[in-house]
Structure 1
Amino acid sequence: MKKTLLAVLCVAAAGCSTQGQVDPNVMQIATTPLTCSNKAECEVWWQRAHTWVTSHATYAIEASTDTLIQTAGPDGGKRALAYQITRAANPDGTATIGFAAHCDGAMGCKPNPWEAGADFKQYVRGAAASAPQTGAKPSQPAPATTHPEASQGQSIPPTNGEALSQ
């Protein structure tokens, strides 16, 4: 009995160890700050952010203001992502749009939060057409960016892909 349980746990652990592998291009896009340059661009990007969440979220939108788009969830044990999108004004007149995605699934999230974050940012920038819940890699390479550690207000999730906050 103990040997069987140990074998099952080893297989489960081995399965989890490969879950966290994310394409470096996807990670680069997902960690690039999303900063709009003026009020008009920020309004367009915020509308796109709302459209993306509406078309990709499994959970209902609980809050939608000028600075927050938030879905319900995540529900216990489910792999579906819950989203929280924020908009913060910067002193120079720009604004930074933040992306956070979380699930409560023991086997990871579906779609992968890194891929969802990259897809979200490409869509908001107008750089890619986005299909709901594809989970596919973004089709375009990352734009020129600063080093990910220079992105204030972003946290990098564990490599198991269970949560992403940027």
Structure 2
Amino acid sequence: MMKKGLLAVLCVAAAACSTQGQVDPDVMQIATTPLTCSNKAECDLWWQRAQTWVTNNSTYQVESATDTLIQTAGPDGGKRALAYQITRTANPDGTATIGFAAHCDGSLGCTPNPWEAGADFKEYVRGAAPGAQRTDLKPPQPASTAMHRDALQGQSVPRSNGEAVSQ
């Protein structure tokens, strides 16, 4: 009887380990789909939503908020909280691509999961998430206008281990 109980516990533990680090394919698709606005008015609205999302979802303070970069402080040593870097890159056809990067410094992974954060961010910015269509968006908060030397161009997504990867 004891062996069966131990076997059951081991099976459950093995099943839990086998799914750890996997991301729902729907979340992955949303997170990796480029976020490209089609004109200045839409791009400005999406950029305002991007800053609102970062302000409302980041543990860290926004360090820089310009027309092309939104960046938080962090990550702090060993913490699982995500630090964000959002970029806005103009495209030759008059559109713009909003890039998303999230990373943490926790050895046990990040909280929230960077893929889920990326999907939530993109849905919110596009206006697909609940509450995204609100007209009471917070105005951008004053922040340093210095560009960070590591600002990423284009589309960024986190790896399953939490590290940011540029596409």
Query: TM-score range with shorter-chain normalisation?
Result: 0.7 to 0.9
Q: CA deviation at 1:104?
A: 0.3
Name the counterpart of 1:102. Answer: 103
Cα separation, partners in 2 of 1:67 and 1:156, compared to 1, 3 Å: closer
The number of residue pairs the alignment matches comes to 134
| Aligned equivalents of 1:46, 1:59: Cα separation in 2 | 19
Cα separation, partners in 2 of 1:158 and 1:76, compared to 1, 3 Å: same
Deviation string, structure 1 residues 75-118 (Cα, Å, up to 9, x no partner): 00000000000000000000000000000000000000000000
Flag structure 2 segments of 5+ consecutive residues without an equivalent: 1-14, 133-152
Do 1:101 and 1:165's aligned partners in 2 also have CA atoms closer than 8 Å? no
Name the counterpart of 1:115. Answer: 116
SS in 1 for 2:23: coil
Cα separation, partners in 2 of 1:34 and 1:60, compared to 1, 3 Å: same
TM-score normalised over the length of structure 1: 0.73
Q: CA deviation at 1:165?
A: 4.1
Amino acid in structure 2 at the alignment position of 1:47: Q
Do 2:23 and 2:115's aligned partners in 1 also have CA atoms closer than 8 Å? yes
CA-atom RMSD, angstroms?
2.5
Matches within 5 A, 1:15-164: 18-129=19-130, 153-154=154-155, 157-160=158-161, 162-164=162-164
Aligned-residue sequence identity (percent) comes to 80
* Greater Rg by CA: 2
TM-score normalised over the length of structure 2: 0.73
SS in 1 for 2:48: helix
Do 2:71 and 2:84's aligned partners in 1 also have CA atoms closer than 8 Å? yes
| Aligned equivalents of 1:17, 1:77: Cα separation in 2 | 25
Flag structure 1 segments of 5+ consecutive residues without an equivalent: 1-13, 132-151
Do 2:101 and 2:158's aligned partners in 1 also have CA atoms closer than 8 Å? no
| Aligned equivalents of 2:48, 2:39: Cα separation in 1 | 14
